[in-house]
Structure 1
Amino acid sequence: MSEFCFLPWYPRGIGEFLDASGSNYVALFDDQTILKFPIVPPHENTAAFSPAGQKYRRQIREASLRGLDVEEKILEKIGHHERIISLRGRHEDGLLLEYMRNGSVDRYLHSRPETTLDQRLKWALQAAEGLAFIHSNHVVHCDLSTGNLLLDSALNIKIGDFEGILLHPDGTIALDGGARYNTLSSMPRDDQDHCDYQTDRFALGTAIYSVITGQRLFPDLDPVEEDTEVQRRFKAGDFPILPDERGGQIIRKCWMGEYESSTQIVHDIQSVLFPITA
């Protein structure tokens, strides 16, 4: 096996593998719970690997464990909310989390492009509600995207993946799990490692755009190979235009950093997109 490849391993009690990221696997634990655990197993035999390969795999596991520890602490801190995935407990190899049986909004829309505009607008509101709650608890998500907007059995959104930043009330960092935005969700700034409420709101704008349109931002670009061009467009304010009745102005205000709080986004979505119930 290549030292830079990872094969599935099987912690106690897991069933079907559901997902994988750069550092974690997600597998079914029971019909209401998933286990999120490092892609590198404990006590791995690395004798056949080069020193560089051993170091790489050790760093991947350490980063995963740090992120899972921060995620547990953040979820314990913010507590229960209808827009946040629930922490079920600890497992010797990872975190037990609420199973969201309809997966991510990203995957759902990919397989169901006929999803109505009303449903998409509802998800935009729910995502904003979740982000406002997170921020009210001094948490910066740092990786908000349609892949982390998860759907329960009733197709309501709950935000997942909390390996971001927990702040002290004075704004200094208490915990940092190491999560960072993908290219299309990353607000242009001098220090690309810096995350705050404003960078989260920028990422929310990209997520809402993808939810409403059913496509990723800048489909003409490869966000990995052409990340410099993505950032150039962001800095130039070269964003796609959507009509206001589909959230266009709200999305643009997220991208341009014009919101002072995330609750303002919730209010605008309610007022502009759901005027009868606002």
Structure 2
Amino acid sequence: MAESEFPELNPGFLDSASGTWRKPVSANEERIYNILTPHPRILACQGIAEMDYDDCLILEYHSNGDLWTYLLNNDPPPLANRINWALEIAEGLSYIHSKAVVWADAHLSNVLVTRDLHVVLADFAFSLISPSPFHALTTLPPPIFACPKGYYGRTSNRVDIFAFGVMLFALLMRRFPWTTNLNPRLDEQIQAMHTHGEYKWDVIEDKILKDYFGPVVEKCFKIGYTNGKEIFDDMKEIGAKWFQEVENKQ
């Protein structure tokens, strides 16, 4: 059985014959998928294809690509869609944490958009099972999503919690914290990361969205949650109130 030397770094390829995504097997990612699937918010893994070169995970393919690219390359989706995506990401994160898994690489490029415009979470090559709160999480997501190092030891889920706050902020505001858009240069991301390291938080300008979702964003940035279920519970309650207000105004 063949296995790539660094499978976790290989994004894989589309197998046009089967319409599936093939990704070189990583023992860790295979183990994580076995723990997490099936679930409607997790990318479906259909097993392993034994090949002459690299054995591959057989993953469901979503032609809409990842959420970050989708947001950049399409007309701005309605706010209701973006809030629903945040709710679905929170649902997936809640499930991941319920299985004692830390995603550890949470960002919008690892969220895929399905054909019916829902989202699923993907890429678990760097995920961990039941790590200690003092585990040195060395995964390097795009800098804008990076959890401040000062939170080391707060909770093993801290990197996922902080990254969810960044994703929620970006989906609500159509820009990342401390930037002006959804496509910040690398130096802008690094500067935002340093600002977060000083425990300074950008705020939601829209008063209504700030009143509803601002507390969730701030609580994520301050690691006021201990797991994804707490985030999802708040998001469900707040989201229901927001959608009710929108309906009442129509």
Identify the TM-score tier after normalising by the shorter chain: 0.7 to 0.9
- Over 3 Å counting, the alpha-carbon distance change for 1:126 and 1:237 in structure 2 is same
Q: Report which stretch shifted further, 214-223 or 234-243.
A: 214-223
| One-letter amino acid of the counterpart of residue 43, structure 2 | I
- Residues 36-185 of structure 1: matches in 2 within 5 Å? 36-37=23-24, 68-91=26-49, 92=51, 93=54, 94-168=56-130, 171-172=131-132, 179-185=139-145
**How far apart, CA to CA, are the structure 1 residues paired with 2:59 and 2:228?**
26
**How far apart, CA to CA, are the structure 1 residues paired with 2:9 and 2:40?**
27
Give the aligned partner of residue 35 of structure 1: 22
Give the aligned partner of residue 247 of structure 1: 213
- Over 3 Å counting, the alpha-carbon distance change for 1:143 and 1:223 in structure 2 is farther
Higher helix proportion (structure 1 or 2): 2
Structure 1 residue 224 displacement after superposition? 3.8
| One-letter amino acid of the counterpart of residue 199, structure 1 | V
Structure 1 residue 232 displacement after superposition? 3.3
Structure 1 residue 36 displacement after superposition? 1.7
Secondary structure in structure 2 of the residue aligned to 1:274: helix
Structure 1 residue 71 displacement after superposition? 0.8
CA deviation vs aligned residue, 1:223-242 (integer Å, no higher than 9, x gap): 64466633431133322211
Query: TM-score with structure 1 length normalisation?
Result: 0.70
Matched length = 225
**How far apart, CA to CA, are the structure 1 residues paired with 2:231 and 2:28?**
27
Segments of 5+ residues of structure 1 without an aligned counterpart are 1-20, 38-64
Segments of 5+ residues of structure 2 without an aligned counterpart are 1-6, 245-250
Judge conservation of contact 2:36–2:42 (CA < 8 Å) in 1.
no
Identical columns (%): 24
- Over 3 Å counting, the alpha-carbon distance change for 1:259 and 1:246 in structure 2 is same
**How far apart, CA to CA, are the structure 2 residues paired with 1:69 and 1:274?**
40
RMSD (Å) for aligned C-alpha atoms: 3.2
Structure 1 residue 82 displacement after superposition? 0.3
Structure 1 residue 199 displacement after superposition? 1.6
**How far apart, CA to CA, are the structure 2 residues paired with 1:97 and 1:106?**
20
CA deviation vs aligned residue, 1:108-147 (integer Å, no higher than 9, x gap): 1112232100000000000000011001111111111111
Judge conservation of contact 1:164–1:178 (CA < 8 Å) in 2.
no
Larger radius of gyration: 1
Give the aligned partner of residue 158 of structure 2: 198
2:179 corresponds to which of 219, 238, 241: 219
Judge conservation of contact 2:157–2:226 (CA < 8 Å) in 1.
no
1:268 corresponds to which of 234, 237, 243: 234
